[in-house]
Structure 1
Amino acid sequence: MSKLSEQSDQVVNLSLDKQLCFSLYSASNAMSRAYRPLLDKLDLTYLQYIVMMVLWEHDSVSVKSLGERVHLDSGTLTPLLKRLEAKGLVIRARSEHDERVRVISLSEQGVSLQQQAESVPQAMLCQADMPLEELQALKQGCDRLFAKLMK
């Protein structure tokens, strides 16, 4: 293969339209914009919403396991949890078993917010306007890609 042909292939490989990362980035930004008006009604950011979803599922978790579940480091998670506590949605406390461990649980207000949030997933499905099977396959593909990249 000539040098010119190799260079031509490299230029094609650097074409923005051929980049999976750009498609994922663009879709992620569009998803965030679609969520914003729904979450504004709950007075939550998207990251606060995903933390609340974990708490609605488990009620009480350590900061470490919460961070692992939502793929956030403590530098990002701690200020986010402080804001949720200031809003009265969560309670941050020390573990009864190990005072070095911070445990996050829902306040009464956080529990009651779940009922308001139950309409969000259906509203997002309507906005996506794609067959459920296609959306499930897309999610599974993203989950597999994430697992491969995190190795």
Structure 2
Amino acid sequence: IVVVFVGDGDLRGEWEQAAQELGIYGSTRWLGTVPFDQIHRLYNACDAMVMPAVTRPATGLAVTVLDAMACARPIIASDAAGNGLVVQDGVNGYLTPERDDIALAAAIARFAALSADRRAAMGRASRRLVETQFSWPHLARRYLEHFERLIDRSPR
């Protein structure tokens, strides 16, 4: 397993130090910020996306999760920050409790032990969910329904 870290943030130094202390630094790649028009290449090259998100005020579903799902990638994520809205445990990835590193590691190991066919099926399930729930026509329909409800409830 090679773990690729994309992006920069306040915790990068801590994560790199932890990788060194655990003796896995040689199996990690630290890419920093990747231009938006290049990120799909990383999604297409990986077997799964791991998103160990934590809930913070004003945190919602990360668009990066949907981007990876659109590239037919399974998602291994903590059940935080909206991930539970799109990750169906055992169907298109795995959900773990928030801030549970042991459970996250176990989910990664469980995924790595799957057959290539099963991993591909999880990826297809991710893609289907994005196509049916997050396509522009579907989102436009949902917004229209929402606005119609608001109009119906407003005083005339």
Flag the structure with larger Rg. 1
More helix per residue: 1
Q: TM-score, normalised by structure 2?
A: 0.27
More strand per residue: 2
